[in-house]
Homo-oligomer: A and B are copies of this chain.
Amino acid sequence: MTQKPLYILVHPEDNVAIVVNSGGLPPGTEFECGLVLTDFVPQGHKVALADLEEGASIVRYGQVIGTAARPVQRGAWIEESLVLLPDAPDLDTLPLATAVPPDAPALEGYTFDGYRNPDGTVGTKNVLGISISVQCVAGVMDFAIERIKKDLLPKYPNVDDVVALNHTYGCGVAINAPGAAVPIRTLQNLARNPNLGGAVMVVGLGCEKLQPERLLPAGVEPSIVTLQDERHQGFGDMVASILEMADRRLAQLNERRREICPASDLVVGLQCGGSDAFSGVTANPAVGYAADLLVRAGATVMFSEVTEVRDAIHLLTPRAIDEETGRGLIREMRWYDDYLQVGSADRSANPTPGNKKGGLANVVEKALGSIAKSGTSPIAGVLSPGERATRKGLLYAATPASDFICGTLQLASGCNIEVFTTGRGTPYGLAMAPVIKVATRTELASRWHDLIDVDAGRIATGEATIEDVGWELFRLILEVASGRKQTWADHWGLRNALTLFNPAPVT
């Protein structure tokens, strides 16, 4: 890494830039352009490029990220308390589909080796997934999964894994409240994730509110084990029933083989977690570049996280493919505004202490960096939380920003692979789909050498361009989707629990 004092300016109109150097830079440091620091500025934090009056706009990404709480000298550290949070964009006056990007040239000939499912979707893994209708059965499931892994899985070498879709929903919840539609459709659609091969198996209790039948797609032959079934004489019988159901399905899955599939069969979820000020200039733009390549190759790409998009929504509605899609974006923002308000919270609940330590002053700055993941393609569709994607192109899948809820909802929307960017570092992983982790800084990528898959920090130091890392990531997605390369999360078996979004009360 370079030792030369370096800052990154994103947009010619910006009056702040972020310091690149690991460990930050002391007062007196002089940059090549002649700028001299008047304060210590930590890595990733902002330095003023001009004198700013009290109340002046602070501009990054060519956008106002806040106003100056007090006068600021050129060369000073713009620390968090200096940046007053502006109002969020007004949802009633947003331009709709006014700047739809032209179609980029199609990218032909890119393929991966996947498992084609009867419904036309394609898996990147060959996983036995068993749904549960209620948490009451989760303990029994864990016991059964251990037995399946030990006694059955070794007989079926073509099956990658066995996963219980454990969750904490299904009973003790207000199942008829308006918000209940979200967790219920999430569970229905999780069971249909392409990596589970299309068959739905459910273990239920019997007396729960969410009856197992509600998790079966229409027209599907039921595969249900009910623990309260009177034929079960105790625990041993229950476990035997689950194993029998699993064994039948494992035999089917074992017959499957990977086949060459066009890149258009990919459904890629994009996420960030533990972001810092580099997220918006290294990892996220590189992911955005890869997203554009994927869209050009005909794939489905989802970006998400309402509270990290809300303050940049005025940059997204113009990119909506039509007015209807633009209104869809606004609908999801408004829903979340209301949801937060009912809970006496607002968008300032984001960012985290770590985000701030990493240089992100507020949610506006975070959002501007976050949407870089979406690249430059037209926004072709909007999904409400947990809805299944039904079209290709760049989609906005509305979710909370919580990494685990977002990941769960993207899996429900049909993702067969995920890309996750991180600045502070998180050991994120999912059982149902591979997760490629991209670091925003080389220092993190080096330190977490056995957890981070791609180092986008090279962009900050000039060792690689956004295009370089974008292409690298695009090619890695195809390799991982083909099972030829393994992510670090899959290497260690790191997998966070499914986490449902339930906006309705528990009872």
Copies of this chain in the oligomer: 2
Evaluate whether A493 and B143 lie within 8 angstroms (CB atoms) in the complex, with A425-B228, A426-B205, A506-B402 already known.
yes
> What are 26 contact pairs spanning A and B, CB under 8 A?
A136-B274, A136-B426, A136-B428, A136-B496, A138-B497, A139-B489, A139-B494, A168-B404, A171-B403, A173-B402, A175-B349, A176-B345, A205-B424, A207-B355, A227-B427, A228-B424, A232-B447, A234-B450, A235-B427, A307-B507, A340-B507, A342-B505, A343-B503, A345-B505, A347-B507, A350-B507
Known: A168-B404, A208-B352, A400-B506. 16 other contacts (CB 8 A): A138-B496, A138-B497, A172-B404, A174-B345, A177-B343, A205-B354, A205-B426, A207-B352, A208-B354, A228-B354, A228-B425, A235-B450, A235-B451, A307-B507, A339-B505, A349-B507
Is A353 at the interface (CB under 8 A from chain B)? yes
Is A429 at the interface (CB under 8 A from chain B)? yes
Is A325 at the interface (CB under 8 A from chain B)? no
Is A391 at the interface (CB under 8 A from chain B)? no
Determine if A492 and B143 form an interchain contact, defined as CB atoms under 8 angstroms apart: yes
Expressed in whole angstroms, the Cα–Cα distance for A274 and B136 within the complex equals 10
Q: Which residues of A contact B (CB under 8 A)?
A: 135-140, 142-143, 166, 168, 171-179, 205-209, 211, 227-228, 230, 232-236, 238, 273-274, 307, 339-340, 342-345, 347, 349-350, 352-355, 357-358, 400-405, 424-429, 447-451, 488-489, 492-497, 499, 501, 503-507
Expressed in whole angstroms, the Cα–Cα distance for A168 and B176 within the complex equals 24
Determine if A211 and B353 form an interchain contact, defined as CB atoms under 8 angstroms apart: yes
Residues of chain B within 8 A of A340, CB atoms compared:
174, 505, 507
Expressed in whole angstroms, the Cα–Cα distance for A357 and B449 within the complex equals 56
Give the residue name and chain of the B residue nearest to A405 (CB): B506
Give the residue name and chain of the B residue nearest to A136 (CB): B426
Determine if B358 and A207 form an interchain contact, defined as CB atoms under 8 angstroms apart: yes
